[in-house]
Amino acid sequence: MFHAYNVIATLLTVLLSEPRAGVFYAGDALVNGTPVKAWQLLNWLTSAASTALIGWAAIGWWRTRNADGRTMILLGVVVLALNSALGYLYTRDRIPAPAGVYYALLLGAAATAAWQRRSEIQSAGTRMVLTAALVLLATGWVHRVAGTVLWTRDMAWSVRDEWTDRYDRLVEPSDDPARNALREELRQRAVRRELPDPANDPEWMREYFERKH
């Protein structure tokens, strides 16, 4: 049952950005009233809307017997299923790359189908609502990408720190001079690399992005 939970959790992380590392933060907030971060709400809303849009497009492709659309959906099922199965030992707190890339492809195709459908709608008000919804969804994903950039920068700082303070405290010299020389060369490369210190970020940025996009 634990392995099955990991597989399901890995799948839902891709489709809904929830749970993270197997923990349902949205459910915890709903049941226990725990605080919800702005980035969490953004993740949940954009992922739920994106998955719903993909589902709508998939139904349309299947009903119209669109060969390309059906192929994309079938491949998506295979990719997501295999990706989820690989998480049976443990589920991570982020979307794995293969599933994330294919999910993005499906979302792009679904958004294109929605935009094409817009031209067939007679009501100007309905077209405006659909346009605004697509723009908001795209804006939400752009915002999430900005958080990913910050997270990547922070990880680079952490790796650099491993070669400075933590290196001096934890790494003991080896009996092999060549190994010591290689370690020192790698350490010098890391030290010479200029990176912005995340501790210097404004307080609002650290609280808002929370480094977990």
Looking from the CA of 67 toward its CB, the CA atoms found within 13 Å total 0
Portion of the chain with pLDDT greater than 90, in percent: 29
Residue-level pLDDT at 165: 67
Average pLDDT rounded to a whole number, residues 55-70:
90
Give the range among 108-112, 125-129, 175-179 with minimum mean pLDDT. 175-179
Indicate if the pLDDT at residue 52 is higher than 90. yes
pTM of the model: 0.76
